[in-house]
Amino acid sequence: MKKTFLLLFLIINTNAIAKDLTGNTLECFGESYRHEEHMALHFINKKKVKYAFVKYDLETNPKYIAVLNKGEELKYEVWDEIIIIKTNRIFTAYNWWDEGETIIERSDLTPTSGTYPYQTDLQCKIVDINNNDPFKMFDDLSMEKEETKKENKL
25 pLDDT band, cuts 50/70/90, is very high
CB atoms within 10 A of CB 112: 14
* 118 has a pLDDT exceeding 60: yes
pLDDT digits (tens, 9 = 90+) for 48-70: 999 999 989 888 888 888 888 88
Cα 109 from Cα 126, distance rounded (Å): 9
pLDDT digits (tens, 9 = 90+) for 76-114: 999 999 999 988 776 666 665 556 788 899 999 988 766
Write the DSSP string, 14-34: HHHHHH--TT-EEEEEEE-SS
Which pTM was predicted?
Answer: 0.76
Average pLDDT value for the chain:
78
Under 8 Å between Cβ of 83 and 65: no
